[in-house]
Each structure stands twice: as structure tokens, then as C-alpha cells.
A = this chain, B = another copy of it.
Amino acid sequence: MNSQVQTEERAFEAALGDAVREVDSLIDRLIPVPPGPEARVFEAMRYAALGPGKRLRPFLVLQSARLFHVARRSALQVGAAVEMVHAYSLVHDDLPAMDDSDLRRGRATCHKQFDDATAVLAGDGLLTLAFEVLAHADTHGDPAVRCELVSALALAAGNQGMVGGQMFDLIAEHRPDLDIGAITRLQRLKTGALIAFSCEAGAILGKAPHEVRMALRGYAHDLGLAFQIADDLLDVEGSSDATGKPVGQDAVAGKATFVSILGAERARAQARLLVDQAVAHLDIFDANTELLRQTARFVVERHA
């Protein structure tokens, strides 16, 4: 590894670490625990949103906002909101009624740590708080920008995005006959829409022109697909020590994935191709794209 690559990697890891600390510190302030008996749901929300994690989505918001010289405070608010939505989706997804998972990132899932009812409510609370944060004056001085953020997040998270994707995913289980087109569409709904929101949020905050926003959407689209393929590969080749959850679950469930259809070798090649494609979308920007380029590489090379 040459020294320039090492320096770049160190800068990337430092930026990622800064983002985790700053976003977590804001989430910590946004969910204070009150004195009443309802404190329990606040504690469960904190457990879910402040647990170990990469904070990839807030990082994408921060980096896309940097392209337009958006105030860091604004970007952090949106980053906290999108992380809350991501955390809520995991809490509900892990419920016995859904995936019934006991372990997430090496810890008990929210309903295991608390109980099922509290986990349902904690997810509901996180989703609701995300919209409260976006609509708050701290997020942007212009209410039109805040409204656009609310609309875009609702579209990405709702039944035409993430919720629709979760429904699709539940129906797709035990359907090993799904083709690559169906799996791609499923991924775009279930995880792609929220990643795309995270990348477009900077452009919304910076009131960027339409074609710039479309470039970021193109980047996000390829990044999201590469991310999903990497996830499928980790389920086949990863260790549960590194991922903090059981591996080999897709094969047990008889689930069609990019890896089950393409095979590991072609899937890996496809992920690398998508990373190159993602990075090419950033060519229209003059500066400040290094960290977004690194993110794309990080996403397929990660081990957890």
C-alpha cells in the first residue's frame, strides 16, 4: 500500500469517526429522558439510535452538504433525523412479528433488551421525532427547505420506499425464483431510497440545481446497490464475530440474493463495477468529493 493511499484512508477514518461522535452527541441531546413513567420509551429510543453502528447515512448527509458549503449544524440535524429513521426500521424489522432477531451489532435487539411493546413504541417514537427534527428551525432558516426535506424523507421512508420494500421483502422470502430485476427493485425500495435521501439532502439544504441533485441520486443509486451486494456477500463469507449477527441466514431462509443468483465471484465484480460507476457521477463537482469517493470503496470492502 503506498503512502498516499494510507494517508487518504486515515483521513477517511478520521472523518467517519468525527461524524459518529457529532451525530451521536446531537441524538443524545434530542432524546433527553423525562422523569415520568414514559421514560422507558425514551430509554429504548436511545438504546436503538445510539448503539454501535457506522452512521453511514448521516456521513453521506454531511459529505453531500459539504459540496454546497452548507452549515455543519444543518447537516447534522438532517443526519440525526435520517439515523433515527434507520434505527426505527431496524427495531421494527427485528421484532418477533417480522424477522425475529435477537442480536444486532453484537448486542441484544431492542425488544430483547426491553420488551416487544416498548420496541414497537420506540420505533414509532423515533420515526415521529425524525420529522420533528427536520421541521425545526435549527435545521434550516428557510421553511421551504425544511418542507422539502420532510417530503423527501417521507417518500424515501414510506410505502413507496422503505416500508414498501420491507413488505416486498417479507413476501419475497421463500421465493428463491426471484430474478435479478426483482431483487434490484426490492433493494432500491428497502435500502436504496433512504441512502438516496441521505445523498440528496445536501443538495436540498444547499438549494442546488436539479442536474446536480440528479448526479447525487445517480451516485446514491449505484452506491446503494453495491452496499446490498456487499451485505449479501458478508452473509455468505463474513464471520458473525465481525458482523455482530448470525451469518448464512439468507441461504437458510431460501432467499434469492445477488449472490445466490450471480455467484460470489460475479457478485463481487458487479459490486466493484457499481463503485466505479458511483464515483463517476461525482465528476461534475470541482472539489470536496474525496470522502464520497472513499465511502463508495469502503462500502464494498467492509467486513461488518
Contacts and interface: CB of A to CB of B under 8 A. Distances in A.
Given A38-B164, A98-B117, A45 B159 contact: yes
Interface in A13-51: 31, 34, 36-38, 40-42, 45
Prevailing SS type, chain A contact patch? helix
A129 B146 contact: no
Contact of A158 (B119, B128, B165): B128
A80 interface: no
Given A97-B95, A157-B128, A168 B38 contact: yes
A255 to B, nearest CB: 14
Contact of A163 (B125, B146, B154, B157): B125
Interface stretch (A131-139, A199-207, A220-228): A131-139
Contacts of A148: 135
A45 to B, nearest CB: 7
A269 interface: no
Contacts of A97: 95-97, 111, 115-117, 119-120
A147 B135 contact: yes
A168 B36 contact: yes
Given A37-B171, A40-B167, A167-B40, A92 B124 contact: yes
Contacts of A160: 34
A236 interface: no
**This chain: how many copies in the complex?**
2
Nearest to A116: B97
B143 A147 contact: yes
Nearest to A132: B154
Given A124-B92, A143-B144, A38 B165 contact: yes
A127 to B, nearest CB: 6
Nearest to A136: B151
Interface in A74-103: 88, 92, 95-98
Contacts of A134: 150
Nearest to A145: B143
A164 B41 CA distance: 7
Given A37-B172, A135-B150, A167-B41, A159 B125 contact: yes
A123 interface: yes
Interface in A240-277: none
Contacts of A184: none
A98 B115 CA distance: 10
Contacts of A170: 117-118, 121
Given A98-B120, A121-B166, A135-B150, 17 more contacts: A36-B168, A40-B171, A41-B166, A41-B167, A88-B124, A95-B97, A97-B119, A97-B120, A118-B167, A123-B124, A124-B127, A125-B158, A128-B157, A128-B158, A129-B154, A135-B151, A135-B154
What are the 9 tightest A-B residue pairs by CB atom distance, in nearest-first order? A132-B154, A97-B116, A128-B158, A38-B164, A41-B167, A135-B150, A125-B159, A143-B144, A143-B143
